[in-house]
Structure formats: C-alpha cells, structure tokens
C-alpha cells in the first residue's frame, strides 16, 4: 500500500516522471540512468567498505590493499561517473535543436506571463497571456525574458526549466507529443506571489492548434447581452483599457495581460482561479487579497451589480 501511494505521486500533469514530450522523455530516461548509476556506486563502495571492515578485517598485504583502493575507490567511480556524464551531455545537442518554424516569446511579469506567438513569416505577433498552447509533433522555439525580477519557465511534463533574466533573452525548444493540459510554474523564487505564478500548457494536435491560432488572432467578440454592454462601458469608465488590451476595441493598454480572448483560457490570475463569473467577480474586487503585491488594484468600491456587469463582459471575451 505504501509503495502504491508513493508511486501515485509520480503521475500527474505537473510531474517530471510522467513525460508528455520528447524533451521530458529524455530527462526521464536521464533520471533513471543516473539513479541506477548512483545505486550501483553506493552499493559497490559501501560493499567494499563492509568487506574490508567486517568480512576481512585483518591486515592486508600492501599490494592487495593498493589494488582495492585504486581499483575500487578511484578507477571504478571515475569510469562510472564519467560514463554517466557523457550520457547526460550527449542529450544536449538534441534539446538545443532549432525549432520547426513557430516561435513563442514569453516574458515573465509581476506575477504573470506575457505570451506572443510568431508563426513562420509573421510580421506581427498574436498576443495572449498566462497560458501557452503548442502543437504536437513539432519542435517549437521559446524565447524567454523577464521584466524586473529573475524568473524561471518550467513545464515538468514537457521538458526542463530555463531561467528568465531582465535584459537578457534565453532560449529553449520543446517538442510535445501527447495532447492534454499540463501545468507550468515559475521555478525561481521571485517575490511575494511567486507560488501564485503558474500557467497552463495546452498541447493540441497540429490541426487543432492551427484552428486555435486563427481564432486567437481574431478581434474580440462584441458584448452579446445588455449586462455585458454595461460591463464594457464600465470597463472604459474605470480606465481598465489603460492597462489591458482588447483587440477590436479602443482598449489598447500594454501594462497588464491582453484580455481579448480571456474567457477561452484555462485559468484566471496566472493559473490560480477558474474563468467563471464568480471567480471573475472575486478577482476584480479583491485582487491584492488573492495575489499579494500584484500591480492591479482591487475595485472594491464598485457595487455588486457593477461587478456582475464587468464579469459578464469579461466572460464574453472568447
């Protein structure tokens, strides 16, 4: 029972031991090989120590003692560790391979993710936030940087982590293989809301990804109900468009996340809430209580009906 419970922790959408991509599979194999090598080395050295202190504790001829020390304590560990090192380094060229055309730029903000898609030949990006979507069977290039603090981009089920630095662009490539929704996380402590800086990684078949990207490039749908129309007016009057962009409208702010297709995302607030009417209302009214020191102010002075109208407008941005 205890073993079954322990093994259950090896699976899941944020587990490096449940790979869903080529890069994560290499790292999984590397972990297995390193673990086996460590067990062999530990067993051999401790077995040798046990042998000379318990099985044959008496004096040894100098010639035999030197053989044990040099062979078992120097040559064997050096060869084993050198072999493991060569095996690990042999993976690096594959994991640094060029992408197949699609480039995704990710900038770590405080404490959320700005995401830009640059398909091959594009002259302008398709902008979104707090979520990445990638096609299966293709190697995608990710260009990473940060706005103010050092962060780290990591989707354990897809590959290793890569640090993100202000003023410096780092690069990695990923080749997902299994469609699904996986969880990513900032893996470098970056301040009060570090633990609340997550994102969803949605892996789609190439056809589904192409359809999604085309829909993502489209402008926002106009408000469909009187409640949503009132919410759009309130969005304008409260100055929300000074920080947030909604393509196809007058709102073109660049400070906060792009909200054009907010309601089509898997999560709200960088992976910490669901995109529901209730969660949207809570987020607008209690932003800094939910996410400490986030830049967005809490609109707690709004009436309940006004909050409902704003949430209705945002819920219609699909």
Q: What is the pLDDT along the chain (318 residues), one digit of tens a residue?
A: 555 555 556 778 888 889 999 999 999 999 999 999 999 999 988 988 888 888 888 777 888 888 888 888 889 999 999 999 999 999 888 878 888 899 999 999 999 999 999 998 888 999 999 999 999 999 999 999 999 999 999 999 999 999 999 999 999 999 999 999 999 999 999 999 999 999 999 999 999 999 999 999 999 999 999 999 999 999 999 999 999 999 999 999 999 999 999 999 999 999 999 999 999 999 999 999 999 999 999 999 999 999 999 999 999 999
Structure-token match 């529901």, residue found: 276
Angle in degrees, CA 110, 115, 117, rounded to 5:
170
| Strands 198-204 vs 131-135: parallel, antiparallel or unpaired | parallel
Q: How far is CA 36 from each of CA 25, 66, 81, 250, rounded to the nearest angstrom?
A: 17, 27, 12, 60
Residues in the chain, total: 318
pTM of the model: 0.88
Please, which residues have CB within 8 angstroms of residue 263's CB and are 6 or more apart in sequence?
275, 314, 315, 316, 317, 318
Return the H-helix or E-strand segment holding 236: helix 226-237
- Helix then strand then coil, in percent of the chain rounded to 5, is 40, 20, 40
At 149, list the tokens. Answer: 């603090």
Angle in degrees, CA 18, 180, 258, rounded to 5:
120
DSSP-assigned letter for residue 264: G
């Amino acid at each position: 029972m205890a073993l079954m419970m322990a093994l259950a922790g090896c699976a899941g959408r944020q587990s490096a031991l449940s790979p869903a991509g080529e890069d994560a599979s290499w790292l999984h194999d590397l972990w297995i090989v390193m673990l086996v090598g460590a067990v062999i080395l530990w067993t051999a050295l401790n077995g040798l120590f046990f042998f000379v202190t318990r099985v044959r504790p008496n004096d040894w001829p100098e010639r035999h003692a030197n053989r044990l020390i040099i062979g078992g304590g120097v040559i064997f560990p050096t060869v084993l560790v050198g072999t493991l090192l060569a095996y690990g380094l042999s993976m690096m060229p594959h994991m640094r391979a060029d992408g197949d055309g699609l480039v995704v730029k990710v900038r770590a903000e405080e404490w959320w993710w700005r995401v830009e898609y640059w398909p091959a030949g594009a002259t302008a990006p398709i902008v979104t936030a707090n979520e990445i979507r990638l096609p299966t069977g293709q190697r995608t290039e990710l260009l990473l940087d940060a706005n103010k603090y050092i962060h780290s981009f990591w989707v354990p089920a897809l590959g290793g982590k890569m640090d993100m630095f202000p003023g410096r662009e780092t690069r990695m490539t990923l080749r997902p293989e299994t469609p699904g929704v996986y969880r990513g996380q900032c893996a470098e402590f970056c301040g009060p809301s570090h633990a609340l800086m997550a994102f969803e990684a949605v892996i789609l078949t190439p056809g589904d990804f192409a359809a999604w990207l085309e829909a993502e490039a489209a402008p926002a749908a106009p408000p469909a109900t009187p409640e949503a129309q009132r919410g759009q007016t309130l969005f304008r009057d409260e100055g929300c468009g000074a920080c947030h962009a909604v393509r196809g409208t007058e709102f073109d702010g660049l400070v906060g996340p792009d909200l054009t297709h907010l309601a089509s995302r898997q999560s709200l607030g960088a992976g910490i809430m669901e995109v529901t009417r209730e969660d949207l209302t809570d987020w607008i009214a209690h932003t800094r209580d939910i996410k400490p020191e986030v830049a967005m102010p809490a609109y707690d002075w709004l009436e309940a009906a006004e909050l409902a109208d704003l949430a209705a407008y945002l819920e219609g941005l699909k």
